[in-house]
Amino acid sequence: RHLKLKQFKDDKCQTQDGHGVKLLANIGTLSDISRMNDVGAQGVGLFRTEFILMHANSVPSEQQQYKMYCEALFGLNGLPLTIRTFDIGADKDIPWLNQQHEDNPALGLRGIRFSLANPHIFISQVKAILRAACHGTVKLMFPMVSQIEELEALLVLIEQAKSQLLEQQKAIGNVSIGIVLETPAAILNLPSMLPLVNFVSIGSNDLAQYTLAADRTNPTLANNYPAVSPAILQLISMAVMHCKQADKEISLCGEIGSNPEVLPLLVGLGIDNISINPANLLAVKANLVTGHYKDFVDHAQHVSQLSRIEEISQAVKAYKHHAF
């Protein structure tokens, strides 16, 4: 099967009827970059930088981080690198940070809330990223932003990072700025936030968790509260609509993007950048390049009218347009 999939590596990333979709990679470590190059990913759509912390016992310095991001850019050879700032907390507990105990860590000081409470960690990471951006194409992305006040506060910290670099006479590269859509509030609040960002990316793992109020790490809930459900599809459609209206780029970086069966639905809903686990990228690509966009749109319209989780998963499974 792998050999068969390999034939798709050099195919143009578009449907039979010429609709282009970018297939990017989710990475957690620098060694994932050779893995994504092997499958022809068009860049990194999500670098989960908190993995750096999981493999360390203190926060790496600005200089150490700068070197890591430069090394990643070197491996990418001009392809874009989307760096998500540390998403600390909840299921990504970093024991040596000694965070205060919380009864509900998933609803607590996580993602950007942690960053705003610990600005020194955030600013030194942003400084490393802004410096690395001199050596490649960098997109800077923030996890768990739900409302404009958080975004404004982050932008203030980014300005502080820039002025510190200017003072230190360190060169700053261009970055585009985006947020991960992981809560229903983030999507409802897009009209106010979109003018402040260049792009957004749907984090469907947390979006499902926070929309369905179902712990993503609890296996007993997985079947009744899946990542693809009527509520999630409505939120994805709403996010696409807001982004098209504001002419902003939208992508998806949650695990549903790594499921080849879901590709026709996502593309049919209007997602045209998907970030995928490198191991699944060619299987997803096979379903893209052998399909027709106009069929994907019909499929998405059909699935969007279904109100039962079971009907949706049946329709997704039943939609097979080729041998994979």
Q: Which letter, b or e, does each residue of 180-213 get, where b requires 16 or more Cβ atoms within 10 Å of its Cβ?
A: bbbbbebbebbeebbeebebbbbbbbbbbbbbbe
Residue 308's nearest CA partner among 228, 252, 249, 243 is: 228
Number of residues that bind ligand PEP (CB under 6 A): 10
Closest chain position to Mg ion (CB)? 206
**Interaction of residue 203 with Mg ion, rule CB under 5 A:** yes
Q: Give min distance, CB of 25 to ligand PEP, in A.
A: 12
Q: Does 203 help bind ligand PEP (rule: CB under 6 A)?
A: yes
Q: Which stretch binds ligand PEP (CB under 6 A): 17-25, 72-80, 100-108, 201-209?
A: 201-209
Q: Of 62, 206, 255, 261, which one interacts with Mg ion (CB under 5 A)?
A: 206
Residue with tokens 């990072």: 161
Q: Distances from the Cα of 321 to the Cαs of 181, 202, 282, 288, in angstroms?
A: 30, 26, 16, 10
Figure out which of the listed residues 204, 251, 277, 280 binds ligand PEP, where binding follows CB under 6 A. 204
In which residue are the tokens 């695990």 written? 255
Q: By CB under 5 A, tell whether 255 contacts Mg ion.
A: no
299 counts as binding ligand PEP under rule CB under 6 A: no
CA proximity to 264, closest of 226, 239, 224, 228 = 228
Phi, psi of 185 (to 5 degrees): -60, -40
Phi, psi of 106 (to 5 degrees): -65, -25
Is 50 near Mg ion (CB under 5 A)? no
Residues sharing a CB contact under 8 Å with residue 144, sequence separation 6 or more, in sequence order = 87, 110, 111, 112, 113, 180, 182, 183, 206
Check residue 48 for interaction with ligand PEP (CB under 6 A).
Answer: yes
Pattern 206-245, ligand PEP, x by CB under 6 A: x---------------------------------------
Helices (H), the chain: 2-6, 32-38, 50-54, 62-76, 112-117, 119-132, 148-167, 184-188, 190-193, 204-212, 230-246, 263-269, 278-289, 293-304, 309-318
- If one asks whether residue 136 binds Mg ion (CB under 5 A), the answer comes out as no
Assess 32 for contact with ligand PEP (CB under 6 A): no
Q: Which is nearer to ligand PEP, 42 or 164 (CB)?
A: 42
112 vs 115: CA distance, rounded Å: 5
Closest distance of CB 235 from ligand PEP, Å: 12
Question: Among the candidate windows 91-99, 159-167, 200-208, 295-303, which touches Mg ion by CB under 5 A?
Answer: 200-208
State the minimum distance, in angstroms, from the CB of residue 216 to ligand PEP: 8
254 binds ligand PEP (CB under 6 A): yes
Question: Considering the complex, what minimum distance in angstroms separates the CB of residue 186 from ligand PEP?
Answer: 11
Would you tell me which residues interact with ligand PEP (CB under 6 A)?
A: 46, 48, 87, 182, 203-206, 253-254
Would you tell me which residues interact with Mg ion (CB under 5 A)?
A: 182, 203, 206
